[in-house]
Structure 1
Amino acid sequence: MQRELAIIQNDPEVPAGVFGELLTEWRVPFRIVRPDLGELLPAAGDAAIVLGGAMGVHDEAAHPFLREIKGWLARLLADGTPLLGICLGGQLLAEVAGGMVSSNRCGEKGLVEVELTGAGAADPLFAGIPRCFPVFQWHNDSFTIPPGAAHLAGSRGCPGQAFRTGNAWGVQFHPEVDGAIVAAWSRKTPDAARLTGRFAAAEAGHRALARQLLANFLDAARPGGR
């Protein structure tokens, strides 16, 4: 991918993490856009990643920029722009595509085993990724798979872990986190030592997952990609 990738960061505590490091390493042009700080969303783009955030998709009164993101995602979906939504980003994408987002239905925190469906195992986003893999989760809200979308992955507690609609993918989990991000989120909980310890033991494999998934998305986002 030669053109600029837009990364939409909705929350100061939810940065691009490992994804930012990898894009810099690979010399992929990208820019961080902060709609939570009043920055304008790109009018058009070659591809975009929408990150997570502590707010929920229905919190538009407290966070008016969420309404702008939803309209922007709807336009990019219609245009066929390659998109990857992570956690809140995946939930926003799911709602725009016709799915439902609800609270406290199947929240997860920490490393969780996710399993690909048959469609997921065949999808280019998960090429080279094992059928079952542990990945970091941090959510109370969750999405249903939008009508007509491909259901790509689920976990035992939360069946909606990944979907694809057109050139857009939504995931509930956080492939982009690193140890520092996990530590910052976990210190707000009484379970911080266990959460950070488990992630530290699995971080090398988690980084490998992030590398493969991001490379797959960039390949799919290239002109002529799948």
Structure 2
Amino acid sequence: MIHIIQSDGDVPAGLVEGELRRLGVEQRTIGLHISEALPEISAVRALVVLGGAMGANDDQRHPFLTELKRFIAQAMEREIPCLGICLGGQLLSLATGGELYAGRDGEKGTYSVMLTDQGEGDRLFHGVGQSFISFQWHDDSFSIPPAGTRLAFTGTCHNQAFRVGRRAWGVQFHPELSREIVAKWSSWSAETAARTGEFLAAFQEWEEEYLQVGRRLVENFARIAGLLPSPCRAVSKQS
């Protein structure tokens, strides 16, 4: 089972949930925004931590963030596969010794993400290609943790993805979105509401590639977590 941690009611699992269902992978969503309790760490096989409108250090307004960072740190100690998305990636960075860059390298809309040399050889990004289309919605960004490896970047945001340990990843971009979620987020402020048509038109233009990348990342993560069989490899016969 993959446990999905949701911190914001307006930031659902979207494509991640749908793709796991299609792949037949059992999942359970924990809604911290509705005061659901985190599971016992011993019961967690794999972990996806979603984004949210709050800041990763906004513990005073959202006390569950303190417990969530501690929970992520425990998952890292146990080498539980983890994928942190946007806020989730920022929390993973903080839980493993990184920093939050508040108000820095923000992006909203459709961007091209480029993989580093390390990213091109990384298991999570297997089959994605050297660059891909992503949807961004963040004002803050993360640093690469001291023991982390930088995997991706955009022209605006230097740190788009990292791996820490063997089986934990933080990404700043959103692989889980749908047109409905993009429209919802656009309504959050007058500034973004005025750009709703722009955001939706760009999403529609690149939707097919965007969805292919999101599905690939979800499938790769499920395989890394041991929840899907590894791809079969041809075995050559010897005389």
TM-score scaled by structure 1? Answer: 0.95
Distance in 1 (CA, whole Å) between partners of 2:179 and 2:217 is: 18
Listed as ranges, the gaps of 5+ residues in structure 2 are 231-239
Q: Name 1:89's counterpart in structure 2.
A: 88
Displacement of 1:204 after TM fit?
Answer: 1.4
What secondary structure, in the 3-state scheme, does the structure 1 residue paired with 2:157 have? coil
Distance in 2 (CA, whole Å) between partners of 1:67 and 1:148 is: 22
Distance in 1 (CA, whole Å) between partners of 2:204 and 2:102 is: 29
Distance in 1 (CA, whole Å) between partners of 2:19 and 2:66 is: 30
Displacement of 1:187 after TM fit?
Answer: 3.0
Q: Name 2:233's counterpart in structure 1.
A: none
What secondary structure, in the 3-state scheme, does the structure 2 residue paired with 1:41 have? coil
Distance in 1 (CA, whole Å) between partners of 2:79 and 2:88 is: 17
What secondary structure, in the 3-state scheme, does the structure 2 residue paired with 1:106 have? coil
Q: Which runs of 4+ in 1 moved over 3 A?
A: none
Q: Name 1:174's counterpart in structure 2.
A: 174
- The structure having more radius of gyration, on CA atoms, is 2
Q: Name 2:205's counterpart in structure 1.
A: 201
1:40 aligns with 2:37: yes
- Equivalent residues of 1:155, 1:161 under 8 A apart: yes
CA offset digits 1:28-73 (Å, max 9, x no partner): 1001101121111111200010000000011101000000100100
Tell me the number of residue pairs that the alignment of Structure 1 and Structure 2 aligns: 222
- Equivalent residues of 1:7, 1:50 under 8 A apart: yes
- Equivalent residues of 1:186, 1:196 under 8 A apart: no
Could you tell me the percent identity over the aligned residues? 44
Listed as ranges, the gaps of 5+ residues in structure 1 are none
1:65 aligns with 2:64: yes
What secondary structure, in the 3-state scheme, does the structure 1 residue paired with 2:124 have? helix
CA offset digits 1:122-157 (Å, max 9, x no partner): 000000001011100000010010112111001111
Distance in 1 (CA, whole Å) between partners of 2:187 and 2:78 is: 41
Distance in 1 (CA, whole Å) between partners of 2:101 and 2:121 is: 28
Q: Name 1:29's counterpart in structure 2.
A: 26
Q: Which amino acid aligns with 2:52?
A: G
The CA RMSD over aligned residues, in Å, is: 1.3
Distance in 2 (CA, whole Å) between partners of 1:15 and 1:30 is: 13
Q: Name 1:132's counterpart in structure 2.
A: 131
